Structure 1
Amino acid sequence: MSEAVDKIRAWTRETEQYTPVEWNRLPEIYLYMDQVLTYMNKQLAPFERSDASSLITSSMINNYVKDGVLPRPEQKKYSREHLAMLTVICLLKQVLSIPDIDMLMKDLLSTESNANMYDRFCAAQTAALQNVCKRVDEAIPEGEAALSRLAIELSIEANARRTASERILSELSATRKENKK
């Protein structure tokens, strides 16, 4: 097999073992921005395209706070709730707009606690990753052509799911606006 296939195999092995940090294992102490960035970058490493990329920066966090997507930190210190919400934001922003993520999180948090919302998110993320890794593992023995076919299939599925998510959120938003009138 090629070096690329070996790297793909290594990625699936690492990703199959990945599970987001459970709510009760998130840091209980408040963290400053630099500590948040270090913590989050470590947690999100399996989702980065390469070692040179980063899914979160201090500017992003500041913008999420400014836009009301993330609550203001207390005296420049971030809590467990912030870390959970940042995890959700960073992973969903790959497929949804920030306003859609904001609406979705506010909807979910209106009916359940931060801990329950986050734990459900983590369970769904873990199941989805394991499913994808299984499909990649099944394609590896067939070679690079099979992996290319799988890449296009996964891309098409991701686009279809993003489209469905956006439609659902758009219709829910329109209905809520109409009900407020």
Structure 2
Amino acid sequence: MEIMDEYREWEESLATVALPTWDELPKFDLYMDQVVAFVNSTLGKLEFEPITSSMINNYVKHKVVVAPVKKKYQSMQVADILIISLLKSTYSLETIRSGIDQVTKRNYPKQGYDRFVSMLVASLKGEQLPDDDGTNQLNNKLMEVATESVITSLRARMLLKLMEKEKN
């Protein structure tokens, strides 16, 4: 198979990626090892660097993620960790936390998270982004730029991987 055919096939595989909406996140609190397993299985098809418990502890230590209650993580924390995992290769943790805070200042965390996921999934499928609700154009633009950065990062990593493969 030619390298460009392999790239096109990979791009087509992105259309099959599904990310959980807020209501599809676990309904019960999770321990650290469960969070790690959930996030890594959710993002595995995108070939992101696997998350570790040390990384999550670092996010909590630096107040990027709210500390767990009795060592258990709730939906909001899991959603934050998913978003951080998607964006950390492009943005600093401080920038990601600031973006999450800005979006959730005007929308509930569920609405902001679901909007981001729907925009990212549409981009992965090569579809037009879903219409915004018109409530805040800056929030929507911020999420649009963030989703574009995830897609661009994925593409760049795959192209580099294929170019290295072609050299050998």
- TM-aligned CA deviation for residue 124 of structure 1: 1.3
Give 5+ residue unaligned stretches, structure 1. 133-153, 160-181
In the other structure, the counterpart of 1:145 is none
70, 93, 99: which one aligns with 2:94: 99
Matches within 5 A, 1:109-148: 109-131=104-126
Alignment CA distance shift 1:130-1:99 (3 Å): same
Instruction: Percent identity, please.
Output: 35
User: Secondary structure in 2 aligned to 1:131?
Assistant: coil
Bigger fraction of residues in helix: 1
CA distance in 2, matches of 1:59, 1:124: 29
CA distance in 2, matches of 1:63, 1:97: 13
CA distance in 2, matches of 1:84, 1:10: 29
| Amino acid aligned to 2:35 | V
In the other structure, the counterpart of 1:70 is 65
- TM-aligned CA deviation for residue 7 of structure 1: 4.7
Query: TM (normalized to structure 1)?
Result: 0.65
Give 5+ residue unaligned stretches, structure 2. 128-147, 154-168
Contact 1:19 1:122 in 2 (8 A): no
1:16 aligns with 2:15: yes
| Amino acid aligned to 1:16 | A
| Amino acid aligned to 1:23 | W
CA distance in 2, matches of 1:12, 1:64: 31
Alignment CA distance shift 1:35-1:7 (3 Å): farther
CA distance in 2, matches of 1:10, 1:45: 17
In the other structure, the counterpart of 2:28 is 29
1:41 aligns with 2:36: no
Query: TM (normalized to structure 2)?
Result: 0.70
